[in-house]
Amino acid sequence: MFVSFVLVACGTATPQEDTGSRDNATTATPQPWLVSAVPITLDSVADIQVMGRLDQPDIASTIMDVALSPDNTRLAALTNTQLVVWDLLTGAAVFATGRGDATQLFYSPDKSELYGLTPGGTGLVFDAETGASDNNFRGHDTYSGVAAFDSDAGWLALGGLNGIVKVWDPLERTSLATISAHEEAVVTLAFSPDGNYLASATSRQVRLWDWRARNQLQQWDTGSDIAQLAFSPDGRLVVAGTRSGASLWNVVGGEQAYDFRLAPNGASRVLAFSLDGRFLVGGSDSAGLHLWSLADGALVSSLPELEGSRLAARFSPDNTLLITASFGGAANIWNLTNISGDTLSRAPLPLPSNEIIDVFWTDDGRLLLFVDARGPIYAVGVPETSSETP
C-alpha cells in the first residue's frame, strides 16, 4: 500500500500508529524487493513506501556501522560478527564474511575495496566484490577511535590518544602525513569538502590544518565538550557540535560566525548541513532537534514531539525535505519549502519498526535506508506507478 499523507503544522500533535503489531516485523517474510523509480522529492514524497528489507544472512544483530558505495548501488554493514554487502538494485546479499574486529567502515572511491577500522587502529582491507581480506595496514599505534574519510579522494584520517593525527591513502596503503595536532586525545575529525583542510578537536579545542603541509591555520576554543565537527558544503564554515550547542567559525578569517546555545547536551548527537548550505540541524536526545538558517543565524524551528532516543536526521539531496527518526519514536518527514514563522510542515512516515537507530539518504535521492536496532534495514522509495508498468 502506498503511503499517502498531507503535511501538517509541526506544532500540531499527530496521532501515532499502534506499534504493537510491529513486534514480529523483523521475523516476518520480507516482501519482494521493489526498485525505486524516481528520487524522493516534494513532488513524489506522497507516494513513498517500504520497497524492501535487507536481512542479515546469519543471526540478526545490531549494526555497528554502514557504508554506501559511491554509485549508490551497494550497502555494506558491520554486524556483531560479519561484514555484509547488499545489492540495492535487487535487495540480495552480495557476500557475508567475518568482520575481523572492524567497528568502522568506508567504501573506496572506485568501489573496489572496503576499509574497516579496528579499535586498535588497524586498517582492514576487503575486496568489495568477494569480501576477501588482504594487505591490512597499521593505521595508528594509539588510535582514539576517531576517523574521518574523504569519500572523493579516498583519504583516511585517524586520531590518536596522544594527540597525533595520521592521514592515509588506504588504496595505496601509504601514509601521507603525521601531524602532532594536540597535546591530548583527539575526539573528532573532519575533512573540508575539497579535501584541502582537516579540522581536529580535543575535548574543548578545535584546530584547522593544511594537512599536506602540516601547518596549523586556525585555533578555536569552545568552553564546552566537543562531540563532532563538520564543514559547510562550500567549505567556508566549520562547526563544532558541543554539549552546550553549536559553534560556527569562518575558515579563512577565523572569526566566529554563529554560536547557537542548546541545553541540555547541545548538539552532541545530530549535526548536519543541508547540501545547499541554507540550514543547519543540530541537537541531542535531551535537547531535541533544532533547525537554523545560516543566512542570518535565526532559529527556524525547534522540532516538536520527537520522542525516543538515538535521534537521527538527514537532509534530502535536493534540500527540500528533512527526515528524522529515533529509537522508540516515530519517523517524520519535514517540508523545508513550507516554513511559516517558526513552524515547519511535517508528515509521519509509518515503518514496520519503531526501533530505528539511524537513517541514510542515498546521494541520488532514490532511497531512504532505516537501520533497525534488531538488525534489519528498511528501504523506502517511490515505486513505479501502474501507468508506467506494461
Cβ neighbour number for residue 8 with a 10 Å cutoff:
15
Taking CB atoms within 8 Å and a gap of at least 24, the contacts of 249-253 are: 249/206, 249/218, 249/220, 251/192, 251/197, 251/208, 251/217, 251/218
The reported pLDDT for the residue numbered 18 is 40
The reported pLDDT for the residue numbered 315 is 97
What does each of the 390 residues of the chain score in pLDDT, given as a tens digit?
A: 344 444 444 443 343 444 433 444 455 677 799 999 899 999 999 999 999 999 999 889 999 999 999 999 999 999 999 999 999 999 999 999 999 999 999 999 999 999 999 999 999 999 999 999 988 999 999 999 999 999 999 999 999 999 999 999 999 999 999 999 999 999 999 999 999 999 999 999 999 999 999 999 999 999 999 999 999 999 999 999 998 899 999 999 999 999 998 877 777 788 999 999 999 999 887 778 899 999 999 999 888 666 668 889 999 999 999 999 988 888 999 999 988 767 788 899 989 999 999 999 999 999 999 999 999 999 999 998 734 444
Cell of 169: 591513502
For the four alpha carbons of 161, 165, 169 and 172, in that order, the dihedral sign comes to negative
The reported pLDDT for the residue numbered 289 is 87
The reported pLDDT for the residue numbered 309 is 81
The reported pLDDT for the residue numbered 330 is 86
Q: What is d(CA 113, CA 50) in angstroms, rounded to the nearest whole number?
A: 29
The DSSP string of 325-343 is EEETS-EEEEEEEEEETTE
- Enumerate domains of the chain plus CATH numbers: 63-138 (2.40.10.480)
Q: What is d(CA 122, CA 107) in angstroms, rounded to the nearest whole number?
A: 16
Beta strands in 170-264 (DSSP E): 174-180, 188-191, 197-201, 205-210, 215-221, 226-231, 237-242, 245-250, 256-261
- How do beta strands 113-117 and 143-149 pair? unpaired
